Amino acid sequence: MTAQTEAELGLETETMTVREAIRQALREELERDEDVYVMGEDVGLFGGVLEVTSGLLEEFGEERIRDTPISEAGFMGAATGAAATGTRPVVELMFSDFAGVSMEQIMNQMAKMRYMFGGKADMPVTVRTTEGGGMGAASQHSGTVHSWIAHFPGLKAVVPGTPASAKGLTKAAIRSNDPVFVFENKMIYEQSGEVPTDEEFTVPLGEAAVEREGEDVTVVATQRLVGESLGAAETLEGEVSVEVIDPRSLYPLDVDTIVESVEKTGRLVVADESPLSYGTHAEIVARVQEDAFFSLDAPIQRVGTPDTHIPFSPHLEEEVLPGDDDVRAAIQRIA
Residues that bind other proteins (CB under 8 A): 35, 37, 63, 66, 68-69, 71, 73-87, 89, 104-105, 108-109, 113-123, 153-154, 156, 176-178, 205-206, 251-253, 255, 259, 263, 290-295
Q: Which is nearer to other proteins, 124 or 311 (CB)?
A: 124
- For the bound state, the minimum distance from the C-beta of residue 321 to other proteins, rounded and expressed in Å, comes to 29
Beta bridge partners of 218: 243, 268
The distance of closest approach from Cβ of residue 81 to other proteins in the complex, given in angstroms and rounded to an integer, is 2
SS3 296: coil
d(CA 64, CA 271): 37
Residue of 141, 184, 211, 281 marked active site: 141
Catalytic residue among 72, 184, 243, 283: 72
Annotation marks residue 141 as catalytic: yes
Residue (11 or 298) nearer to other proteins, CB:
298
Residues 6+ apart with CB under 8 A from 15: 192, 193, 194, 195
Name the residue nearer to other proteins (CB basis): 157 or 230: 157
CA 220 to CA 222: how far, in whole Å? 7
Of 104, 124, 99, nearest in space to 114 by CA: 124
* CA distances in angstroms from 153 to 19, 53, 88, 274, listed in the order given: 29, 29, 21, 19
Neighbours of 115 (CB within 10 A): 11
Is the Cβ of residue 105 or residue 162 nearer to other proteins in the bound state? Answer: 105
Nearer to other proteins, 259 or 271 (CB): 259
Tell me, yes or no, if 190 is annotated catalytic: no
Q: How far apart are CA 147 and CA 125, in angstroms?
A: 19
CB of 18 to other proteins, least distance (A): 25
Query: Least distance to other proteins from the beta carbon of 181, Å?
Result: 14
Helix H, strand E, coil C: the string for 195-251 is EECCCCCCCCCCCCEEEECCCCEEEEECCHHHHHHHHHHHHCCCCCCEEEEECCEEE
* Residue 115: CB minimum distance to other proteins, A: 5
220 and 247 Cβ atoms separated by less than 8 Å: yes
DSSP structure string for 58-84: HHH-TTTEEEPPS-HHHHHHHHHHHHH
Residues tagged active-site: 72, 141
